[in-house]
Structure 1
Amino acid sequence: MTDSGHDITIRYLEPGDEAEWRRLWTGYLEFYETVLPDEVYRSSFDRMMQGNAGVANEYRGLLALVDGKPAGLVHYLFHRHGWKIENCCYLQDLFVDPAFRGTGLGRALIEAVYEKADAEGCPAVYWLTQEFNHTARQLYDRIGVLTPFIKYNRP
C-alpha cells in the first residue's frame, strides 16, 4: 500500500512487460537527457530477463504496479568488491512515472532492492544520482546515507 492508499505490487520484470518497461525507462533516460539506440534497450531487457532467472553477474529488474498499472522500475546488479567478502548491490536505475510520484513508490522500489540484497547475503546497496536531482535526493536523504565520494569517468 502506498501513502495514497493505492495497492502496489513490486515484482521481477517478465517478458510481457517489455513495452511498458521501455516506456518507463525512456522517461528515466529523458530526465538525464540521454537517448539510446534500440539495440541497447533490447540488450538491457534481455540481460535483466537472464538476471531475474538467476544467471549470475547479470542485471536484474523490478517493475512496480499501482492498482495493476506499471508505474515504476528499478534496475540493479550484484558485484564483487575488493574490501568485502560478500557482494555489493548497485542500484543503477530508479524511475517512477510522474503521475505516481509522491505516493511512496520510489521508497518502495528502493526497499525492494534492499530486500533482494538481504536475501542474497549482500548488506551493501549503493547508487548514484546527479547533484541537481533535488526531488529524488529528498527521498535518498531519508532512506540512504550520502557519501563524500566523487565519480570520475574515463575521457
Structure 2
Amino acid sequence: MTTISPITQADFDEWSGLWRGYLTFYGTELSEEVTAETFRRLVEDRELHGVVARDDDGRAIGIVHWLTHPATWSRSAYCYLEDLYVETASRGSGTGRRLIAHVREWAAERECQKVYWLTQETNMTARALYDSVATHTGYTHYQIAL
C-alpha cells in the first residue's frame, strides 16, 4: 500500500531524484540554488506544501507540491497543485490519484474554494487521470517571463 507523508529534511536525496525526473519530463532545468530553496520551503511547510509517496518497500515513488492563494472570485483561498510526479515504473499504480486526493483533502480541511492545476496539452497519460478526478475547464494558459 502506498503511504503518503510530509516531506522532511531526511527525504532530500529521494525527493531530488524525483524532482529531477519531473523537470526532465517537462524538458526544463533549474539551478541547484533554486532546487535547494524549493526543498527548504517545502520542508518548512508554510507557503509551499509537499508530500512524498512511498511504495511497500519504503522507496519514494512520487511527489506533489501545492500552495494556496487569495482569490477575487471567492471569499476563501484557492489551492494550486503546482507539481505532481510519479516515477515511470510506478505509473498506473494509483499513486498519482492518491497524491491528488491528498491535496484535495488537505484543501477541503482548510475550506479552500477549489483545487486546480495545469498540464501540457500533449500529456495524455496524465490527462486521462485528471479527466477522471477533475473537470477540464477549457481555459488556455498564457504567461510572460520576467
TM above 0.5: yes
From 4, 9, 18, give the equivalent of 2:3. 9
Q: Report SS of the residue matched to 1:153.
A: coil
State TM-score, norm by structure 1.
Answer: 0.91
User: CA RMSD, aligned part only?
Assistant: 0.8
| C-alpha displacement of 1:50 | 1.7
What is the aligned partner in structure 1 of residue 128 from structure 2? Answer: 138
Runs of 4+ in 1 over 6 A off after TM superposition: none
| C-alpha displacement of 1:49 | 1.3
State TM-score, norm by structure 2.
Answer: 0.96
Counterpart code for 1:27: G
- Report the count of equivalent residues: 144
What is the aligned partner in structure 2 of residue 61 from structure 1? Answer: 50
1:114 aligns with 2:108: no
| C-alpha displacement of 1:119 | 1.2
Instruction: Structure 2: give runs of 5+ residues left out of the alignment.
Output: none
Q: Give the % identical residues.
A: 44
Contact persistence 2:74–2:113 (CA under 8 A): no
1:71-122 superposed Cα distances (whole Å, 9 cap, x missing partner): 0000000110011010000000000011111110000000000011011111
1:17-63 superposed Cα distances (whole Å, 9 cap, x missing partner): 01100000110100100011000111100111122xxx3xx111110
